[in-house]
């Protein structure tokens, strides 16, 4: 027998409403700083890789420990605001990516449960259609479109999830 009901935890209506409100509040709170970049803009401005971030951090360290060695042409207050913003955004992104991963995992388990239940229902439908029970042949014909057409070899494997 296939495993089923791998995730029996479901959000209440109040929790769904609260989550939607929290996401909306987050979107609104961050609206002033979010920017849509074109793919060309991403290539042009997205060149600061991990190595270059280390450079930025080292320059910041020098600025803090030995400010007399810093270029006077740079707006250092803006530099620090940019650095702080980047660090905050990285923290938000890491937390959101972790949340997205956990949500995807929960969704996968619910999807699996639904699929296993659908397979069970299809097997029941095939059985009932075989007994000429009214309505089941039509349902079977509608559902069989979701299963691969395999050459008849005597042993047909169970349908695979797509």
Q: What are phi and psi of 153, to 5 degrees?
A: -125, 0
Q: How confident is the model at residue 62 (pLDDT cuts 50, 70, 90)?
A: very high
Q: Are 79 and 63 in contact (CB under 8 A)?
A: yes
Residue 76 confidence (pLDDT): 97
Q: Does the pLDDT of residue 80 top 80, yes or no? A: yes
Does the pTM of the predicted model rise above 0.85?
no
* 102-136 tens-digit pLDDT: 999 999 999 999 999 999 999 999 999 999 999 99
Q: State mean pLDDT over 48-63.
A: 94
State how far the Cα of 44 lies from the Cα of 40, in Å rounded to an integer: 6
């Amino acid at each position: 027998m296939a495993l089923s009901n791998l995730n029996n935890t479901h959000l209440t209506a109040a929790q769904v409403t609260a989550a939607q409100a929290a996401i909306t509040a987050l979107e609104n709170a961050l609206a002033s700083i979010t920017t849509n970049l074109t793919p060309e803009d991403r290539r042009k401005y997205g060149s600061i890789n991990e190595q270059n971030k280390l450079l930025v951090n080292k320059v910041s360290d020098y600025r803090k420990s030995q400010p007399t060695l810093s270029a006077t042409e740079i707006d250092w207050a803006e530099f620090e605001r940019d650095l702080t913003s980047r660090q905050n955004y990285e923290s938000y992104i890491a937390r959101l990516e972790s949340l997205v991963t956990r949500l995807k995992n929960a969704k996968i388990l619910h999807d699996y449960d639904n699929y296993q239940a659908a397979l069970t229902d299809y097997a029941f439908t095939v059985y009932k259609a075989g007994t000429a029970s009214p309505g089941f042949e039509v349902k079977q014909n509608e559902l069989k479109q979701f299963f691969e057409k395999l050459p008849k070899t005597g042993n047909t494997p169970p349908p695979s999830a797509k």
